């Protein structure tokens, strides 16, 4: 991506870790996926910028945060989950069940095979 | 020629290579539910990730490689005990995984495969490319490494054999590409700019001085 390509407005999210060049920095692959999901949904108009910034800020201000800020994307994902619940897309309980299902699927998948949700042994 | 390194001979039932942390699994859950509702196209998500992946991530590995190129003693240490040599620069993975450095030579090229991002040393290499997780990449890299390299625009000289390494949760690999010609006297810092992420996976070579400029 060239420097002149415009970043999504979400790159200006409160507290987003940035490199010296001003690019978002992701320490783990799921950080990038969470960021991309949010950029995509914002681009589709599921929520506006102020609503996102407000939801994220509320998560970031919750007590019990890591002193070094390493849980930034945990807050990001909580904010995205909360917005999705608020928009009536998926209840927190649905997300929680799917999260557990993905974890069982991962554990049930042998090394070298792609992890698929169908690999969850409890999924009928 | 490919050489496949599984660890099937020990402890197989006692550990799981595949594990999602709560947040990793939540992101998968979000992706699933949003895809089911037609709000998200997984390919569009991959495309967004791709625009960021080569520019982000710590890419500490480039500094490890450049140091090995300029300091023979460090290179020896990296060969013998990559985990300690890399840790000496302050780069350690979240899970403190073991690292092994494999050095490309005119006779042998190394290529690393793994379908799982959990087996990928981000702290050293930065974010994995999207294609790296594709099942097709892994199976084809094992069956036809030469063909896969050609797709990446890498043609090796006749007589260079290719060795394929399979990262696991316990042991992750770093390819040390060959130092490009025409870089005598370069500083480690300048050299690090020639070390691409792909060259440390083995799907690319280090950049030439012209390309790196």
Please report, for the domain that includes residue B180, its CATH number.
3.90.330.10
> Could you tell me if B128 and B33 lie in one domain?
no
> Could you tell me if B66 and B166 lie in one domain?
yes
CA-closest candidate to residue A86, choices A47, A114, A118, A37: A47
Average pLDDT value for residue range A19-28? 74
> Could you tell me if B46 and B135 lie in one domain?
no
CB contact at 8 A, B199 and B59: no
Q: What is the predicted pLDDT for the residue at B126?
A: 73
- B52 CB neighbours in chain A (<8 A) are 1, 23-24, 26, 32, 35-36
Query: What is the C-alpha to C-alpha distance for residues B93 and B128, in angstroms, rounded to an integer?
Result: 14
Q: Point out the domain boundary residue: B53, B75, B99.
A: B53
Per-residue burial over B5-17, b = 16 or more CB atoms within 10 Å of its CB, e = otherwise: eeeeeeeeeeeeb
- A19 CB neighbours in chain B (<8 A) are 55-56
Query: What is the C-alpha to C-alpha distance for residues B137 and B41, in angstroms, rounded to an integer?
Result: 21
Q: For the segment B2-51, what is each residue's pLDDT rounded down to a tens digit? A: 444 444 434 334 345 678 899 999 999 999 999 999 999 888 888 888 77
- A27 CB neighbours in chain B (<8 A) are 57-58, 122
Nearest by CB to A33, from B17, B22, B27: name it: B27
Beta strands in chain B (DSSP E): 98-103, 108-113, 161-166, 171-176
What is the distance in angstroms between the Cα of B150 and the nearest Cα belonging to chain A? Answer: 23
What is the distance in angstroms between the Cα of B73 and the nearest Cα belonging to chain A? Answer: 30
> Could you tell me if B98 and B42 lie in one domain?
no
Any domain includes B77: yes
Per-10-residue mean pLDDT for chain B, 213 residues long? 42 57 95 94 84 62 94 97 89 70 96 70 74 77 90 90 85 93 94 91 92 63
> Could you tell me if B47 and B108 lie in one domain?
no
> Could you tell me if B138 and B76 lie in one domain?
yes
Where does the pLDDT of residue A18 fall: very low under 50, low under 70, confident under 90, or very high at 90 and above? Answer: confident
> Could you tell me if B127 and B98 lie in one domain?
yes
Any domain includes B163: yes
Where does the pLDDT of residue A97 fall: very low under 50, low under 70, confident under 90, or very high at 90 and above? Answer: very high
Structural domain tally of chain B? 2
Query: What is the C-alpha to C-alpha distance for residues B100 and B200, in angstroms, rounded to an integer?
Result: 12
> Could you tell me if B128 and B143 lie in one domain?
yes
> Could you tell me if B43 and B144 lie in one domain?
no
> Could you tell me if B44 and B102 lie in one domain?
no
Q: What is the predicted pLDDT for the residue at B98?
A: 85
Any domain includes B14: no
> Could you tell me if B89 and B133 lie in one domain?
yes
Q: For the segment A74-91, what is each residue's pLDDT rounded down to a tens digit? A: 999 999 999 999 999 999
Contact B34 A84 (CB under 8 A): yes
Per-residue DSSP letter, B117: G
Any domain includes B140: yes
> Could you tell me if B119 and B207 lie in one domain?
yes
Any domain includes B79: yes
Instruction: Name the token pair of A73.
Output: 């994307």
Range of the domain at B47: 22-53
Contact A40 B18 (CB under 8 A): no
Query: What is the C-alpha to C-alpha distance for residues A118 and B207, in angstroms, rounded to an integer?
Result: 42
């Amino acid at each position: 991506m060239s420097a002149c390509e415009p970043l999504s407005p979400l790159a200006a999210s409160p507290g987003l870790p940035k490199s010296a060049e001003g690019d978002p920095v992701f320490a783990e692959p799921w950080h990038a996926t969470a960021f991309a999901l949010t950029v995509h949904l914002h681009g589709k108009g599921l929520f506006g910028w102020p609503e996102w910034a407000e939801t994220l800020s509320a998560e970031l201000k919750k007590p019990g945060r890591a002193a070094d800020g390493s849980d930034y994307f945990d807050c990001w994902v909580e904010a995205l989950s909360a917005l999705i619940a608020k928009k009536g897309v998926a209840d927190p309980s649905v997300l929680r069940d799917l999260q557990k299902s993905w974890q069982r699927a991962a554990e049930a998948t042998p090394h070298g095979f792609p992890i698929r949700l169908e690999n969850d042994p409890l999924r009928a | 020629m490919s050489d496949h390194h599984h660890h099937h001979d020990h402890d197989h039932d006692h550990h799981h290579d595949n594990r999602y942390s709560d947040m990793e699994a939540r992101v998968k859950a979000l992706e699933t539910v949003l895809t089911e509702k037609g709000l998200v196209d997984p390919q569009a998500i991959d495309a967004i990730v791709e625009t960021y992946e080569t520019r982000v991530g710590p890419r500490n590995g480039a500094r490890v490689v450049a140091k090995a190129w300029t300091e023979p003693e460090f290179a020896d240490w990296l060969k013998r005990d990559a985990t300690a040599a890399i840790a000496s620069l302050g780069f350690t993975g979240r899970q403190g995984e073991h690292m092994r450095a494999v050095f490309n030579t005119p006779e042998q090229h190394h290529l690393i495969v793994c379908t799982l991002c959990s087996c990928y040393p981000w702290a050293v290499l930065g974010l994995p490319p999207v294609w790296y997780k594709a099942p097709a990449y892994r199976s084809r890299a094992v069956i036809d490494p030469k063909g896969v390299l050609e797709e990446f625009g890498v043609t090796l000289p006749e007589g260079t054999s290719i060795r394929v390494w399979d990262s696991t949760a316990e042991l992750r690999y770093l390819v040390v590409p060959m130092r490009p010609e025409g870089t005598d006297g370069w500083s480690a810092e300048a050299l690090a700019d020639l070390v691409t992420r792909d060259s440390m996976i083995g799907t690319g070579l280090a950049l030439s001085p012209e390309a790196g400029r």
